[in-house]
Amino acid sequence: MSDQFDLNGKRILVTGGTGSFGKRFIRLLLDTYTDVKVIVLSRDELKQFEMQQDFPDENLKFFIGDVRDLDRLRMAFMGVDVVVHAAAMKQVPASEYNPTECIRTNIQGAENVIQASIDCGVQRVLALSTDKAVNPINLYGATKLCSDKLFTAANSFGQPQGTSFAVVRYGNVVGSRGSVIPFFKKCQAEGRAIPITDERMTRFWITLSDGIHFVEKCLQIMRGGEVFISKIPSMKITDLAQAVAPELETEVIGIRPGEKLHECMVPMAEARRTLEFKDMFIIQPDSESWGYDFSAQYGDEVGENVAEDFEYSSETNTEWVTSEDLHAMINDTVASDHKWAKAG
Q: What is the pLDDT along the chain (344 residues), one digit of tens a residue?
A: 447 899 999 999 999 999 989 999 999 999 999 999 999 999 999 999 999 998 889 999 999 999 999 999 999 999 999 999 999 999 888 999 999 999 999 999 999 999 999 999 999 999 999 999 999 999 999 999 999 999 999 999 999 999 999 999 988 888 666 567 778 888 888 888 888 888 999 999 998 899 999 999 999 999 999 999 999 999 998 888 888 888 888 888 888 877 899 999 999 999 999 999 999 999 999 876 666 667 899 988 999 999 999 999 999 999 998 878 777 777 766 555 545 455 55
Separation of CA 37 from chain center: 21
* Side chain identity at residue 155, one-letter code: N
pLDDT at 328: 76
Assign a CATH topology to domain 11-172+206-232+265-316.
Answer: Rossmann fold (3.40.50)
What is the pTM (predicted TM-score) of this model? 0.91
Report which of 79, 81, 94, 106 is spatially closest to residue 16, judged by C-alpha positions. 106
As annotated, the active-site residues are 132
In one-letter notation, the amino acid at residue 108 is Q
| pLDDT confidence of residue 292 | 62
- Helix 237-244 to helix 180-190 angle (10° resolution) is 50
How much is the pLDDT for 66?
Answer: 97
Residue 121 vs residues 78, 79, 159, 204: alpha-carbon distances, Å: 8, 8, 10, 36
Nearest to 24 by CA among 82, 84, 64, 74: 84
For 295, residues 6+ apart whose C-beta sits below 8 A from its C-beta are: 1
Domain ranges of the chain: 11-172+206-232+265-316
Q: Is 121 left (phi over 0), alpha (psi -120 to 50) or beta?
A: left
Percent composition of the chain: helix, strand, coil (DSSP 3-state, to 5)? 40, 20, 35
pLDDT at 332: 64
